[in-house]
Amino acid sequence: MRKFQLFFSLVLLLAAAFCPPSYSSPIHRLEECSNIEMQPDKSIKGSFTNFLESDSNRLQIKSLIGNTSSINQSITTDTLSAFGLLTPANNSTLNIPLSGTGTIGINWGSSVSVSGNPVTYEWMVAPAGGNFNSPLITLPSNNSGTDTALSLTFAQLNSLMNATGALPGQTYSAIWTVKATSGTLSRFSSNIFNVNIFRINDTLTVFSLIAPANNASLNLTGSATQTVQFNWGRTRLPNTLPVTYTWLIIANNGSFANPITSILADNNGRDSVLTLTYGQITNLLSTNGITPGSVFQAKWTIRASAGTAARFASATYNLALSYNNVTATAERELDSQLLLYPNPSAPGQTQLRLQLEQAADLEIQLTDLQGRILHRLQEQGISSSTLSLPTVGLLPGCYLVIIRSDSGRIVKKLQIR
């Protein structure tokens, strides 16, 4: 009985030594201890929150237990191992566009619970010079907090910057860390990183369509080489990224998400004007089932893009398109002197036989149904000849062969099988 009382007293002494309410060292503080008891093998065990197995703590245990051979000098503790931040590196700058769907990856090392319990992580951000008692934001890591990584979208970071009041074109300085948690245990990373978040002002300014005016009508009567121009105002970025413009046209009941065709503006998309020939537009109409003499009710607009930013014109314009049903005598004669064969044909086997009454200069274009020119041939002073058309590599489908001369313009459909 006396020996048991001695052991019991020793247990109480250990509890008092390791759990003093006034012990405030951040390294050795034992915030909580419980279930301290003598084990059958005479070892002393207990649960200590944030216990650090430092030399000073081991000396405290040894001084309390002494060198009594009948008591095993051991104590069971649960701790989280130290871990550090990895990326973005300290003092990094994150360039965050206002638009776009990109992500930023945050990474750190892993912390391990001595007891083998699972560990979860939270990413924290605070203003530069601040602390993490009231962070700007706290987010669990990927995979419900179990990963040592966090993927942040541009939208999340822009929401964070909106909360701070940082405007587009400004830089916000912050600090970040990660908190590991396992049960009642928690531990911050061994380091804190500085980060600068720069908000890229990549918002395109508003721009408008100009001509043809809304609800205009175009009757494409005349030479196929005549042109019509589509004009619009320019949009701008606060930075120096170049802007590219694309013309889009749809049927009245269509959607610009799936346009009939899209064509870059003049000068490889850089100009705020698109020049189209009557021939290009009539090809577009005929390949979409619009017969000569009928009217195609359409809508058109412009999409501007620069980097990850994109914007449509502030309005869409209605446009009525029609083309003449009359074929000139010279064009009929030219058509009768041309033969495209075989049709349908396999890639690389298409021939164009010419039997012209008079020598002529010809331009021969091979286009797809959207009017994009795939190949162009120039023949000077030709009369009778058989030309091999460059169809090698074409995918199965319908194409157009357009022959132009001083006599007019002929369009023939070519089927590649």
| pLDDT tens readout for residues 37-71 | 444 444 444 444 444 444 444 444 444 444 444 44
Same-domain status, 219 and 298: yes
> Do the domain assignments include residue 73?
no
Average pLDDT of the segment spanning 115-125:
93
Is the confidence at residue 94, as pLDDT, over 60? yes
Going by pLDDT thresholds of 50, 70 and 90, the confidence category of residue 143 is very high
- Residue 84 corresponds to which amino acid? G
Which of residues 323, 355, 380 is at a domain's end?
A: 323
CA distance 410 to 338: 9
| Residue 77, CA distances (Å) to 32, 36, 40, 82, 112 in order | 11, 11, 18, 15, 13
Tens of pLDDT, residues 301-329: 999 988 777 889 999 999 998 876 544 45
CATH code, 312? 2.60.40.10
CATH code, 378? 2.60.40.3080
CA distance 392 to 415: 13
Going by pLDDT thresholds of 50, 70 and 90, the confidence category of residue 285 is confident
Is the confidence at residue 4, as pLDDT, over 80? no
In what helix (H) or strand (E) does residue 63 lie, and over which residues does it extend?
helix 55-65
The pLDDT assigned to 332 comes to 66
Q: Cβ(276)–Cβ(283) under 8 Å?
A: no
Tokens of residue 63, six digits: 């001084």
CATH code, 181? 2.60.40.3640
Strand-pair partners of 8: none
Which of residues 323, 356, 387 is at a domain's end?
A: 323
Same-domain status, 289 and 341: no
> Do the domain assignments include residue 258?
yes
Same-domain status, 45 and 115: no
> Do the domain assignments include residue 77?
no
Same-domain status, 364 and 348: yes
The pLDDT assigned to 329 comes to 53
CA distance 205 to 77: 62
Entry field: residues in the chain: 417
In what helix (H) or strand (E) does residue 6 lie, and over which residues does it extend?
helix 2-18
User: Of 365 and 409, which is predicted with more confidence?
Assistant: 365
Q: Cβ(200)–Cβ(96) under 8 Å?
A: yes
> Do the domain assignments include residue 71?
no
Which residues form the domain of 360?
329-416
| Residue 386, CA distances (Å) to 94, 340, 351, 359, 368 in order | 62, 10, 7, 14, 22
Same-domain status, 222 and 318: yes
Same-domain status, 140 and 162: yes
Average pLDDT of the segment spanning 138-142:
95
The pLDDT assigned to 265 comes to 95
Count of C-beta atoms within a 10 Å radius of residue 127: 14
User: How many domains are there within the chain?
Assistant: 4
Whether the CA torsion 158, 270, 288, 254 is positive or negative: it is positive
The pLDDT assigned to 8 comes to 46
Same-domain status, 309 and 393: no
> Do the domain assignments include residue 75?
no
Same-domain status, 56 and 124: no
CA distance 76 to 34: 11
The pLDDT assigned to 53 comes to 42
Same-domain status, 92 and 170: yes
Is the confidence at residue 74, as pLDDT, over 70? no
DSSP letters, 276-306, are EEHHHHHHHHHHTT--TT-EEEEEEEEEEEE
The pLDDT assigned to 240 comes to 67
Going by pLDDT thresholds of 50, 70 and 90, the confidence category of residue 100 is low
Is the confidence at residue 238, as pLDDT, over 50? yes
Per DSSP bridges, beta strands 338-341 and 209-211 are unpaired
Q: Cβ(204)–Cβ(311) under 8 Å?
A: yes
Same-domain status, 104 and 178: yes
- Residue 325 corresponds to which amino acid? N
Going by pLDDT thresholds of 50, 70 and 90, the confidence category of residue 89 is very high
> Do the domain assignments include residue 80?
no
Tens of pLDDT, residues 162-193: 888 888 778 899 999 999 999 989 999 999 99
Same-domain status, 339 and 278: no
Helices vs strands, H then E, count in the chain: 5, 25
Which of residues 174, 200, 226 is at a domain's end?
A: 200
In what helix (H) or strand (E) does residue 163 lie, and over which residues does it extend?
helix 154-164
Same-domain status, 183 and 233: no
> Do the domain assignments include residue 70?
no
Going by pLDDT thresholds of 50, 70 and 90, the confidence category of residue 331 is low
